[in-house]
Structure 1
Amino acid sequence: MNLYTARDPGNGSEPVERLNAEPVNSAKNRKPLYEARKKIFPKRAEGQFRRFKWIVMLITLGIYYLTPWIRWDRGPYAPDQAVLVDIASRRFYFFFIEIWPQEFYYVAGLLVMAGFGLFLITSAIGRAWCGYTCPQTVWVDLFLVVERAIEGDRNARMKLEAAPWSLDKLRKRVSKHLIWLAIGVMTGGAWIFYFADAPTLLKQFVTGEAPMVAYYTVAILTATTYVFGGLMREQVCTYMCPWPRIQGAMLDEHSLVVTYNDWRGEPRSRHAKKAVAAGEPVGDCVDCNACVAVCPMGIDIRDGQQMECITCALCIDACDGVMDKVGKPRGLIAYATLQEYDANMALATGNGAHDIQPSAVRNPDGRFVNAVRHFNWRIILRPRTIFYMTVWCLVGVVMLVTLATRERLAVNVIHDRNPQYVLESDGSIRNGYTVRLLNMIAQPRTITLSLDGLPGAVMKINGLVDQPARSFDIKVKPDEVTSLKLFVTMPAGATKTASDFTFLASDAENSETAHYKAVFNGPGAKK
């Protein structure tokens, strides 16, 4: 795997335009804790990383907007929406997985996996999440597509910004903001479909029959999408997101980050031929500012690593395009680790070259222009990344095992607190309980509820059976909780103190059994 693409310099070169692009955020001049936004007009980039961002944007937006409409047959007693957060029934459906409220630890496990996955990605390849898949990045990319389609590329937008108000400017601005608002409405509209049957809710929403919370949710998400993606953009990443400040603890000398190879590019010169003729040292950077012009965060990567950099690599595409025009090898800006950067710097300056011994491409004047290297396994296989991967896999395996082995029948019991027991006229002792049978499958079934222990005791279920017994067959509804009020009675003289026993719930057809340990209180029990 070559992260640098070495090319033989051409004999001729195309003229390169120097763009009037000054960095809004500069590592050389750190701003106060907060500074008002200065508009950035990123130029459209072309290249492999820009194409990759298009693919990621289409995939992520496609997943977000289309997922609520995917159907999944769970039988006649359960919803057929593949992904559904059913708040009314307190269920979370994800294809063949159904999560009940008491199983929320699965959601917690997913969050833990997401966190360690983010740590792993950042440690290996920097802020790749921020540059490619973060919702803020994806929606800003989408908003920029609209902006460029209506107002033009960078120069046209800057010219329009500086121009006085006219009918044409008003038309373009109103059109742009209306489309941004429409995208915001679609964002909020897609979100609410995750919480109810999508076709039904869409019909209700359009006809004005949907719950008011649906309209409030769409309004809030429309506003946040419009403001964050259209009006604030890089301010969200710089000031609102904590990850730029956390990432410093995640990176080390083996992490891949977007790097300007100043050992090759410096000193910069826009007139290389004149400088060479005059005997002056010349680097490959022609100071065209293309890397600054395409940066959505408004930084100059040539100033080094910066908190604002989201590692989107658009500056690599822009610089590679310029290197092609001037007939020089690509890779002046490239993904590299700090260790590789130091090694190449030592090679270029002649310090420690005998220890490094990499292959290299030289300019005709003998200067090193690009070190050619192969994939370094230390990027992935090092203690930090191995730890993150181990935790990530361990949590995933535990969740899969528990999902595969979990019981879909449960019983919960609450003892009556007042009174703790009732002493009846014949001397028998009665305790009251509320028993909840959880049928966690989408099929009706018959559950046998019985007593284990407490010899001589019988139970009676209000409204279900008239004659007391030690076991009853109870029909429960599919995917629901059945609540029963029952009484357990001990004959006279059987107990004077608290006694332990067990409620057993069993389904012979599905070979499932659940139990709950309970206590029977008598007059001699300690309170």
Structure 2
Amino acid sequence: MKHPETLERERPGDAARPAPSQPPRTSVPETLYEKRKGVYPQKIDGRFRRFKWLVMAITLTIYYCTPFLRWDRGPYAPDQAVLIDLANRRFYMFGIEIWPHEFYFVAGLLIMAGIGLFVVTSAVGRAWCGYSCPQTVWTDLFQHIDRFIDGDRNAQMRLAKAPWGPAKIGKRALKWSIYLLISFATGGAWILYFADAPALLSDFFAGEAAPVAYATVGVLTATTFALGGFMREQVCIYMCPWPRIQSAMLDEKSLIVTYKDWRGEKRGSLKKAKKNPELYGDCIDCNQCVAVCPTGIDIREGSQVGCITCALCIDACDRVMGEIGRPRGLIDYATLEDCKREAAGEEPRPVWKTLLHPRTVIYFTLWAAIGFALLFMLGTRTHTDISAAADRNPPFMRMSDGSIRNAYTVKLRNMEGRPRDMEITLEGLPAAVMWTDDMPREQAASRLVRTVPEDATLPLRIYVVAPADSHEQDVTFHVLALDPQGEEDRATIRFNAPES
């Protein structure tokens, strides 16, 4: 006869049982991952929903239309207002032109974007996620298409459970075709930022664009179609790292979408509440806040990773409270600190005081300081630049007459949309003369003048000859633009000579 423990281990499902040293499980999970439950947000109207409409209209208009905006930069520069010109290594944004050596401007903007996200999160929670995040914008757009084709929440749920037939296949084909069209337009708009938009658009449909353009559109079409059309809230809950980061940035003084449980509990239907008004709170458990949520969460369970702070639950709850004659604001933008104060019968703080959180002020101050620094650097930069590099082998040459020659690669940069004459002089070696590969040595002089084409860098091979008694020291190439602006720049470098 087998031991009772042996019989226990041989029962069905023993592979899922814990080891003898572990406490017994109350239930055995069938899978490591929870199956996705479909989210079918209900249509709602309110101030936050209208604000989402406004943000969606603005962001999509900016994204799709910006490549077609024109900006006159003169006859020598592209006239596209926003252009990332990878071939010529330029970045244009209206009147601003960023060169490769000025990449710190782009780095500064990226840092500002990151800190700006901290500012928004510290002030109003995940408002970026709820209104302006591309995943949110395109998901919201696709959900409106769902309602247009399939109907509102209940109709969508019925259609999802219905067997496949001609009607369901037709609706799915129509809806997915619209998804695909929007996704294709999204990928197509992206590549227009990297070349002249009208020309690239014509070449693309004529089959004459570069292969990378078709590959990029294909990848972005597929990702937009999958992420916005099907994965939706899963991107926000599982793929995006920001919900995890924001938890370290929120505290009881942060303004977030909050359910005031002290006022809403105990939940009960309107009939029960009328019979026992002292027993039940304001929440009638209508689940409208859950029905309108684009990620399918229940805000009444508290702050959670799935809440993107879109505040549609506030619109839904306020509407219900208005219909049953109870005060609005059961779900509201509030801080946990103010909720405790309000529960105790005190007046909540004004919103402006809530926003003046020390951490928010610090983030905003840092963000503004970086912005002002970039603006100052942008306003004081010149459009003339020079760089120099010395030959490493040999570092110098002794000429037949005893003089010492060094060779340098000097680059003159003209950052304006017109050709400019530039004068090069050498400081630090008064008796030295210079010449380049395009001129004979007999014409060597202490001053060289070259014409630098518009919006270009002119490389020069410059030879510097100094008297025989010259010693090793730092010298400076000085460039002066010979135009009314008179911009100048300097590059200091080592002049090599034999030891004394």
Q: Scaled by the length of structure 1, what TM-score is found?
A: 0.86
Match of 1:15 in 2: none
Q: CA deviation at 1:33?
A: 8.5
Query: Any idea what SS the aligned residue of 2:457 has?
Result: strand
Alignment of 1:2-401 (within 5 A): 35-270=34-269, 272-277=270-275, 281-347=279-345, 356=346, 358=347, 373=348, 375-401=350-376
Amino acid at match of 1:337: T
Asked if the contact 1:449–1:505 (Cα under 8 Å) also holds between the matched residues in 2, the reply is: yes
Please tell me whether residue 506 in structure 1 is matched to residue 480 in structure 2. yes
Partner of 1:412: 387
Cα deviation for residue 252 of structure 1 reads 2.0
Query: Among residues 469, 473, 481, which one is paired with 2:457 in the alignment?
Result: 481
Q: Distance in 2 between matches of 1:235 and 1:523?
A: 69
Give the AA of the match of 2:221.
T
Deviations along 1:365-422, one digit per CA (max 9) or x if unpaired, are xxxxxxxx56243312231111111101111111111111111111111111122122
Displacement after TM superposition at 1:274 (Å): 4.5
Structure 1 residues 337 and 456, CA, compared in 2 at 3 Å: closer, same or farther?
same
Which residue identity is paired with 1:517?
T
Task: State the identity %.
Answer: 56
For residues 91 and 276 of structure 2, the distance between their equivalents in structure 1, rounded to whole angstroms, comes to 72
* 409, 424, 431: which one aligns with 2:399: 424
Aligned partner letter, 1:302: R
Paired letter, 2:58: I
Matched residue type, 1:300:
D
Q: Secondary structure at the match of 1:37?
A: coil
CA distance in 2, matches of 1:197, 1:144: 33
Corresponding residue number in structure 2 for 1:462 = 437
* 3-state DSSP of counterpart to 2:248: helix
CA distance in 1, matches of 2:240, 2:438: 57
Q: Spell out, residue by residue over 1:68-116, the C-alpha distance to the aligned partner (whole angstroms, 9 max, x if none).
A: 1111100001111111111111111111111111111111111121112
Alpha-carbon distance change, 275 to 235 in structure 1, aligned in 2, over 3 angstroms: closer
Q: 1:66 to 1:465 in 2, by over 3 A?
A: farther
Contact in 2 for aligned 1:259/1:334 (Cα 8 Å): yes
2:144 maps to amino acid = V
TM-score by length of 2: 0.90
Conservation of the 8 A alpha-carbon contact between 2:123 and 2:357: no
Alpha-carbon RMSD across the aligned residues, in angstroms, is 1.9
Q: Quote the Cα distance in structure 2 between the aligned partners of 1:101 and 1:141.
A: 37
Q: Paired residue for 2:420, among 445, 449, 473?
A: 445
Aligned residues of 2:434 and 2:448 also touching (Cα < 8 A):
no
Give distance in 2, aligned partners of 1:383 and 1:43: 38
| 5+ residue gaps, structure 2 | 1-29
1:336 partner letter: A
Deviation at 1:508, TM superposition (A): 3.3
1:315 partner SS: helix
Aligned match of 1:351: none
Say whether the 8 Å CA contact 1:253–1:339 is kept in structure 2.
yes
Structure 2 CA distance, aligned partners of 1:89 and 1:32? 53
The number of aligned residues is: 470
> What is the CA-CA distance between 1:141 and the residue it aligns to?
0.5
Distance in structure 2 (CA, Å) of the matches to 1:303 and 1:464: 80
* SS of residue in 2 equivalent to 1:259: strand
Unaligned runs of 5+ in 1: 1-30, 348-355, 359-372
Residue 494 of structure 1: CA displacement? Answer: 2.6
Q: Which runs of structure 1 show a deviation greater than 4 angstroms over 4 or more consecutive aligned residues?
A: 31-34
Amino acid at match of 2:422: I
Q: Identify if the C-alpha distance between structure 1 residues 229 and 338 changes in structure 2 by more than 3 Å, giving closer, same or farther.
A: same
Is 1:518 matched up with 2:493? yes
What is the CA deviation profile of residues 443-463 of structure 1, one whole-angstrom value per residue up to 9, with x for unaligned ones? Answer: 110000111121321111111
Contact 1:124 1:254 in 2 (8 A): no
